[in-house]
């Protein structure tokens, strides 16, 4: 059985094919480049031989940073001692990246889906091999079932991955698109969306008309509480919104904030 070995491979003989990671932050790469220039490459990249070239299996960020420095002609690399099928390469990339921070939720989701397609593994098998829970694998796969325009919003961070999972449970395309727009626009929270999904059951019943709903609760002693927002048409949604407000109030109460300051903080968070 062939053993792996560490070699100093010429940078111009290394190629990067399709990788799990799609986005590479310029700022992050420059930071890594500075680190490599200061103390050297502490962790070799991993490559496989393909003809006269070396194809990256893991470590494209380190490769890019070393190349960006412009002072290195070679880089330390672990050369795979065996031929790897594309699925095996992707498996190793995904495992390596899932065990560190950096991949976006959509990148992880798409990579898991492609890995299952290449290997024929079930969601349970993927969960076991990646050290993930079956629930998290299922949620990741749910993101890949969303329409491309909603996936793009999840990828851009306009819609949280947790909200994307809930949106996938909405079966009516028009309702799904409307709710996605409200989430992206900050008009609907993930908790409120969960309330809508639960009240819908299968998600086939329309949860919102797109009009602004207003609810005023009369309390004793001449007090009242008013709640308004798109999608406010059932008790579950009302409860979800009030619980979210209470959670934020309780979190900030120890700071001794004035009520007006608390209101301003909520306003700023809603605009962010």
Please confirm, yes or no, whether 60 is among the known catalytic residues: yes
- Distance of CA 223 to CAs 95, 148, 173, 236, 237, Å? 56, 47, 41, 23, 22
- Look up residue 226 and give its two tokens: 């008013």
Catalytic residue among 26, 50, 60, 269: 60
CA dist 63 and 258 (Å) reads 52
**Residues identified as active-site:** 60
């Amino acid at each position: 059985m062939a053993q792996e070995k560490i070699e100093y491979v010429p940078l111009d003989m290394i190629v990067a094919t399709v990788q799990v990671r799609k986005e590479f932050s310029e700022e992050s790469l420059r930071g890594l480049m500075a680190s490599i220039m200061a103390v050297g490459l502490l962790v070799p990249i991993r490559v496989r031989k393909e003809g006269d070239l070396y194809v990256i299996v893991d470590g494209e960020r380190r490769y890019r940073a070393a190349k960006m420095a412009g002072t290195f002609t070679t880089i330390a690399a672990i050369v795979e001692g065996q031929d790897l099928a594309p699925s095996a390469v992707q498996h190793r990339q995904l495992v390596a990246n899932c065990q560190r921070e950096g991949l976006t939720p959509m990148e992880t989701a798409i990579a898991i889906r492609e890995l299952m397609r290449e290997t024929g593994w079930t969601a349970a098998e993927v969960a076991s091999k990646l050290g993930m829970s079956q629930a998290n694998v299922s949620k990741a796969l749910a993101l890949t079932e969303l329409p491309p325009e909603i996936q793009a919003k999840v990828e851009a961070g306009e819609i949280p991955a947790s909200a994307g999972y809930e949106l996938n449970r909405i079966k009516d395309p028009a309702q799904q698109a409307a709710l996605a727009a409200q989430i992206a626009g900050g008009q609907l929270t993930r908790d409120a969306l969960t309330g809508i999904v639960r009240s819908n059951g299968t998600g086939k019943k329309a949860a919102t008309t797109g009009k602004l709903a207003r609810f005023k609760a009369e309390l004793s002693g001449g007090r009242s509480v008013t709640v308004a927002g798109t999608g406010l048409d059932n008790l579950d949604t009302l409860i979800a919104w009030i619980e979210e407000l209470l959670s934020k109030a309780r979190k900030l109460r120890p700071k001794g904030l004035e009520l007006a300051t608390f209101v301003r903080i909520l306003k700023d968070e809603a605009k962010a």
